[in-house]
Structure 1
């Protein structure tokens, strides 16, 4: 599939096309810039930002992308392309509407190479949207310090990234950094409490990198960390810090089981009347969809008819993940993750041969229920039994088997910025490419972050108590 064909197909699905630039005036030097998005949570467990993992590949360097991926310099200056041209392409990509929408109103943390910071084009980035992370390999000298001071005067903020110990480089950067990101797994355990205490006393914000388990989160939380980067929130957890849900779980499961058949309006009305919280959400959903048509829904039966069973089913599936507190959709990390996965898989499966509406529905269900154990805890198998999912969906969730399983592997790789895994998986999912998959993930993230009540929101409106 050509790039033009892919772009045309993407627009048909609500995409704006790939983020790319033609360098040197020749099509073979087309330069792709794409991103993975990793959440940062605050001490309340709510989203407060995203780190954008950046991948830059030129058409001429595509074949060597895997071997060069670990080399930061090659990522910044792919074969045959000047560093300045790469920086220009990166900044255009960062300023695209796709990235803005995928950030859902939160700030983006980006790795800042020396070349990027010293380039005048960096000043065109809005400082209220982007925070620069200073990676361990950056060369710190007087020129760089002077540049950081100048950019700081323009309201840009800096993070010292991947800190595991105190050294000269760290000491030189510390006065100009607002935040220090500490790698929990690589920092000596005996050093961690002292390092956190000293930095907090110095007025620095602390971000815990690598909080993929609840134990790691609790360790960092008790040490006074302010931000947490990792997927601990998507793992099963019980106890005092377990996630609260916005409606009784049994009520949501009963409704899902009813929706799995072909319920009548009367049956849906009877089930919903048993659960006032669900009625409240449905009335909001129905009026959000009806306002664009100048309608006002005032009865439960009208709400069911106005919304439709398909939209009610999707709303109920996603409502499983909604936090029990009054949390805006765009700030709820688990709901955002589940919604993004579901929408990504629905969009991505459409790129595969012979995929139709049934495959799209199955892909959405695979994505939305791939995290269900984070809500219910206990055995994933038992929860999937209750949901009565089909065998291909269960095989995909439990064992990552089949095309749906490969798509789930792909979105998990994109979530972590594991570009090598994404490349390998896309080879088995041809004609889907890594660049296209990354674009679809941004599109899905934007869909998941819709905050306005809109008739075009396809059933994913703000969920609040």
Structure 2
């Protein structure tokens, strides 16, 4: 399954801005005819899919691509013909840092690549590289690291000028600890999952967002009510009209009113845009959440159509709303209780049940590189590959439109 897709996980800086993505791979189970190890073949497929199928910019934008390389790639058995200014070469934890490997890393660094040591849990793992001054980034594996040892490790690495990346950041406590210790970058599910604090009340801005979302997603909300609702907020009106008049639609006429916008793009698309605008107004959450929401929405929709669903709006809505728990800092069951949603969408969001839930499970498995689970949806790998690439391209275009709409003229 490694030759099907390129999974990606965002990497954030201390301002919760995305600076790049780790491109994930897994070995296939049917590679007996391939005359290289599974890891080598998987890395090759990731590189081919990234650079020949969809393009580096479409996957990582203007950021860095963190790519795991096997020893055979690192020592030059297989070439690394990649733009060095965009690539962070990750050295896996099971690769011995012997003289041959260190000499090869020296050559890569001279060529302009940045080097990262992956899954570090002890300072001993880092010492050979520190002596040579070859490594730029140390990725500390929080799941395998004893918390009591973190301060000393951080101090030692910082003294050598290392950039520190905390990976497998699963909880708010982990994030706060690593932030206080001075980590530069963060990677893990916490940054894309809710910060759930028991007994916490939703603040007023989130409450407004939830109420507006409830109205724009209510199937009983009619044309006139939505126009009235949107028109009451000058900011929402401005953002929506700017989006409708953007290059995404390339309309031959300028849209000057909400009524005209609804007439031209339709009620369904209007609801979609309004949901995105409202979600993007929560300022203390990384913009990556909007990008993830868009990609999931498009993938769920396309998977629904591939499974024979003629009306895939519920699939799209499920993917879009799958990050609402992270945006609202509430458990998903509390989020959906505040919004009027169909029962099958609720079941999909909370328990991943039903056909829609199956599509969402497939999307989540793709994001996490769990290729065996991806195949359970019953769609041919070639079709899934196309869906995945198309959803990334589509999400990148719309994410730019959403955030450009938040800027003044």
CA distance in 2, matches of 1:235, 1:215: 13
Does 1:183 find its partner at 2:138?
A: no
Q: In the alignment, what sits opposite 2:341?
A: 389
Give the one of 175, 178, 202 matched to 1:220: 178
Cα pair 1:102 1:443 within 8 Å, conserved = no
Structure 1 residue 296: deviation in Å?
Answer: 2.1
For 1:461 and 1:433, how far apart are their aligned partners in 2?
35
Give the structure-2-normalised TM-score: 0.87
Measure, in 2, the Cα distance between the counterparts of 1:280 and 1:49: 31
> Partner residue of 1:319?
277
Deviations 1:214-264 (A, max 9, x none): 221111111111111112133333789x99979941452254145x23522
**Matching of residue 441 in structure 1 with residue 388 in structure 2:** yes
Shift of 1:146: 1.4
1:95-134 superposed Cα distances (whole Å, 9 cap, x missing partner):
1251421222221101011111233763420112221100
TM-score by length of 1: 0.77
Please say if residues 114 and 136 of structure 2, whose CA atoms lie closer than 8 Å, have aligned partners that are also in contact: yes
Structure 2 equivalent of residue 364 of structure 1: 316
1:342 aligns with 2:315: no
Please say if residues 115 and 137 of structure 2, whose CA atoms lie closer than 8 Å, have aligned partners that are also in contact.
yes
Contact persistence 1:107–1:130 (CA under 8 A): yes
Alignment of structure 1 residues 107-118 onto 2, 5 Å:
107-118=64-75
Checking the alignment, whether the CA contact within 8 Å between 2:76 and 2:104 is kept in structure 1 is no
Structure 1 residue 410 displacement after superposition: 1.8
Contiguous gaps of at least 5 residues in structure 1 = 1-19, 21-30, 66-71, 79-85, 455-459
**3-state SS, counterpart of residue 292 of structure 1:** coil
Residue in 2 aligned with 1:208? 166
Query: In the aligned structure 1, how far is the partner of 2:41 from the partner of 2:399?
Result: 40
Number of paired residues? 400
Q: Quote how far apart the aligned CAs of 1:365 are.
A: 1.2
Alignment of 1:43-54 (within 5 A): 43-54=14-25
State the SS of the aligned residue for 2:274: helix
Show the counterpart of 2:85. Answer: 128
Instruction: Determine the C-alpha separation between the residues in 2 that align with 1:384 and 1:325.
Output: 21
Q: Distance in 1 between matches of 2:248 and 2:128?
A: 58
Residues 196, 104 of structure 1: alpha-carbon distance in 2 compared, 3 angstrom cutoff: same
Give the corresponding residue for 1:83. Answer: none
Cα displacement (A) at 1:443: 2.7
Structure 2 Cα separation of the partners of residues 290 and 346 of structure 1: 19
Matched, 1:355 2:309: yes
C-alpha separation in 2, matches of 1:120 and 1:247 = 57
How far does residue 145 in structure 1 lie from its aligned partner after superposition? 1.3
- Does the CA contact (< 8 Å) of 1:34 and 1:56 recur in 2? no
SS at match of 1:52: strand
Gaps of 5+ in 2: none
1:261 paired residue number: 220
Contact 2:14 2:185 survives alignment (8 Å): yes
Does the 8 A contact of 2:325 with 2:335 survive in 1?
yes
Provide the residue aligned with 1:421 in structure 2: 373
Query: What's the counterpart of residue 4 of structure 1?
Result: none
Mapped to 2, the partners of 1:209 and 1:453 lie a distance apart of 27
C-alpha distance 246-332 of structure 1, shift in aligned 2 (>3 A): farther
| Distance (whole Å) between structure 2 residues aligned to residue 116 and residue 244 of structure 1 | 53
